[in-house]
Amino acid sequence: MRTELGQSLPTITKLQYLSKRLEVPIDTFLENKELALPEEYFKIKYRIMKSPV
């Protein structure tokens, strides 16, 4: 939740996990070369949270 509120940034470990789960390159989350969350992050997080483990 802190990440979504802009209070913290995702760790490399979390970005790697998302990248593997979604089968996208890790730079998908850093497309602007900034350490800000792209809108796509929220969509991806929602998909992961709703997917069966």
How high is the pLDDT of residue 51? 81
Do residues 38 and 29 make contact, with C-beta atoms less than 8 angstroms apart? yes
How high is the pLDDT of residue 31? 60
How high is the pLDDT of residue 35? 60
How high is the pLDDT of residue 33? 60
How far from 8 is each of 1, 17, 23, 38, CA to CA, in Å?
9, 17, 24, 14
**What predicted TM-score, i.e. pTM, was given to this entire model?**
0.48
Residues ≥6 apart with Cβ < 8 Å to 47: 22
**pLDDT tens series, the chain, 53 aa:** 677 777 778 888 988 998 999 899 988 877 656 566 778 888 888 888 888 87
Instruction: Give the start-to-end residue ranges of the domains of the chain.
Output: 12-50
